[in-house]
Structure 1
Amino acid sequence: MTVDMFLCLHKDKILTNQNMMSALFNQYKNYLYKSARKVANRYPSVELDELISEGFEGILRALEKYDCNTSSFLTYAQHWVRMKMFSAARKSIGLMALPGSMYSVISKVKHLLDSNPSLNYIEISRQLGESQERIAIVLDLIKTPKVGGIATLEDYVTYEDTLIKNLPPEDSIDEDLARKDFEKRLWAVIENAVTPKEAFVLSLLFGRGGEMRRSLEWVAKVLYVSKERIRQIKETAFDKLRGSEALAELIKKEEALC
C-alpha cells in the first residue's frame, strides 16, 4: 500500500489522532523545512518555526480535501502549504489584509515600471485609470527606488528631482555619517526589543533610513487596519523600549559623545 493510498483510506482517523498526526508531520517535515527556508529568504522578519507550523496546517487542510484520483498527495498539498506560508509571511509585515484588487494594481504598476522606469505616480495613475492616492500607496508597498522610494503624494517626483532634492551640503557629510551610524545601532536595538510587526510600524512612523515620517492615519491606511490599532502597536512597542537596558545604554553612550 502506498502512502497516498493510506492517506485516502485513513484521513479521517489521521485528522483526529494526535499520534497519527505526528507521524504525518514526520513524513513531510523535510519538505516543510525546505519550503519554509525559501519563504524565509524572501520574508526575513518571519520565524522559520512559524512557517513550518503554518505549512503543516496547509498539509492538514489538503488532507481534508484530498482525492486519490487527482494526483499524488504531496503534489496536491503544495498549493495549500505555499498559501499558508505566504499568508503568515505577509501577516508578519502587516500586509495580511490587502484585497485582491490591490495585488492586481501592484502587478500592473510593476509591469509599467519594467517598461519605463522613469514614470512617476501621476503618469502611472493616468495610464492605469487608478487614483493618484492609490498609486502612491502601491509605490510605497513595492518600494521602487526608480520613482523616488517611499514618499507622500507631493513627493512623488521624477528620480532626478529626488536626487537633487536630497543632496546634502558638503560641510554636513561627517555629521550625516555619524547620524546614520547611530541610527543603524538604534534600529538594531529596537529590532531586538520588539516584534517584527512592531518594528515595521515604528519604521514607518519615524522614518527609518531617512525616509519620510508617516502619520498614524497613513500607516493604518496602507496596512488596512484602524488608526487605533496602529496606535496600540506603537504604544506596545514603546512599553518594551522603555524597559530596554540596551537602549538606555546606547543613549547614555551617545549623550557622552555630545
Structure 2
Amino acid sequence: MEATITMESVWEQYKEMIYNIAWKMAKQHNEDFDELVSEGINGVMKYLPRYDSAKSSLCTWVYRSAWDEMKSYCINPKRKRHVATDFSDLTDDNDLAHQLPSTSSWIGDIMQEIGDEARALVKVVCEAPDELRKEIIRGKQERRAEALKAYMIDVLDWHPEKVNTVWREVSACL
C-alpha cells in the first residue's frame, strides 16, 4: 500500500528545487521570482493527484509539474496582450495630453524637465490620429518608433535630425 503524498510533505522536500527552477526562469524570461514560485506550486498542486509512482519518481513529477506551469506562465500570450485604450470619450478639456503634465505624476516631472519640442513629441503620442494611434497601441516597438518618426517628418514637417534630437531627449528621461 502506497503512502499518501501531501502537498506539505512535497513542499518541504522539494521547495529548494522549485526555487531553483523559478530563479532560472525569472532570469531567462525577465519575470517576477515570487510569481513564478506561486505558479510552480500551483502546477504541483494541480498535478499531484495524478501522480503514479509506477510511471515516474516523485522528484521528476514535481520538477515537470512546476517547470511546465512556470514555462506556461512565461509564454502565455493572454498575459502579454496589450489592452487597447478607448480614446473615443476624450474631449479637448479632458484629453490625455491635458492630464499628463500633472506635477504629482512621474510623467509630469519628465514634462517639466524636457524642452518644448520634446513636449510636442509627447503631445503627438497623446493626441495621435486614429491610424497612428492604432500603430502606437498595437504595433511592435520598432514599428511604433518608425510610425511616429514618419508622422513627425511627413505631417509636422520636422527635419529628420530634429526628430532624432527630440527622440533622444525624451528617451534619456525615460
User: TM-score, with normalisation over the residues of structure 1?
Assistant: 0.35
Q: Name the structure where helix makes up a greater proportion of residues.
A: 1
Q: Determine which structure has greater relative contact order: mean sequence separation of CA pairs < 8 Å that are 6+ residues apart, divided by chain length.
A: 2
User: TM-score, with normalisation over the residues of structure 2?
Assistant: 0.49
Larger radius of gyration: 2
